[in-house]
Amino acid sequence: MEQITREELVRKIESAREKLDQSINARDQYDEILKKSVYLDSLIEQYIVAGY
């Protein structure tokens, strides 16, 4: 797993959250929302594991 800075990881988390919110608001297909949710969860997990 690549090591990224805290700031970059936070930016990725914020961007992923915004994209997920947009998909939910647009009533996108369940599979698309799930994919974005799983990606956001993986970023949050990386943040926690890194100890930030």
Per-residue pLDDT of the chain (52 residues; tens, 9 = 90+): 567 899 999 999 999 999 999 999 999 999 999 999 999 999 999 999 999 8
Q: What is the pLDDT of residue 1?
A: 52
Nearest to 18 by CA among 26, 8, 7, 30: 26
Q: Number of C-alpha atoms within 13 angstroms, CB side, residue 35?
A: 7
pLDDT for 34 = 98
pTM beyond 0.75: the answer is yes
Domain boundaries, the chain: 6-50
Instruction: Specify the DSSP class assigned to residue 28.
Output: -
